Amino acid sequence: ERKCILTGDWQNDLGSNMTISAVNGAGQFSGLYLTAVSATEKPILVSPLNGSQHVDNLEHPTFGFTVKWSFSDSTTVFVGQCFTDDHGKETLQTMWLLRVKAKSMDDNWKATTVGTNVFTRIKVQNM
């Protein structure tokens, strides 16, 4: 089965793009995320991501990364796993938690949302 290293360009089911740069020997990586949607009214900007993946066993590795949104006060964490089908096509099956900034602790209960995203590898324009 084909190995899965996260380095490269990916697009998810919302149309968001991310570019992950080289994964180091410890499995750590950084990258850039351009979301297609936002919970805010602010203009969307490319935002940095940082994460790590298992590199000890590259068959269907699990990973996680954090996006620190550069245009809002929010933070998103993604966890996921890379799968390869019989034709070598890779998909990242992920779940995320999006934390928006609550005005006060009274609003804490509504400050975190959860969802899923599926990413496939693409060739994208430079961000």
Task: Give the footprint of ligand BTN on this chain (CB under 6 A).
Answer: 12, 14, 16, 35, 37-40, 69, 72, 74, 76, 96, 98, 115, 117
Using DSSP's 3-state secondary structure scheme, residue 93 falls into strand
By C-beta, is 19 or 72 nearer to ligand BTN? 72
- In terms of C-beta density within 10 A (0-12 exposed, 13-18 middle, 19 or more buried), how is residue 79 classed? middle
By C-beta, is 25 or 43 nearer to ligand BTN? 43
Residue 32 neighbours by CB under 8 Å, 6+ apart: 18, 19, 46, 47, 48, 49, 127
Shortest reach from residue 41's CB to ligand BTN, in Å? 10
Shortest reach from residue 115's CB to ligand BTN, in Å? 6
Integer Cα distance of 100 and 63 in angstroms: 23
Shortest reach from residue 123's CB to ligand BTN, in Å? 18
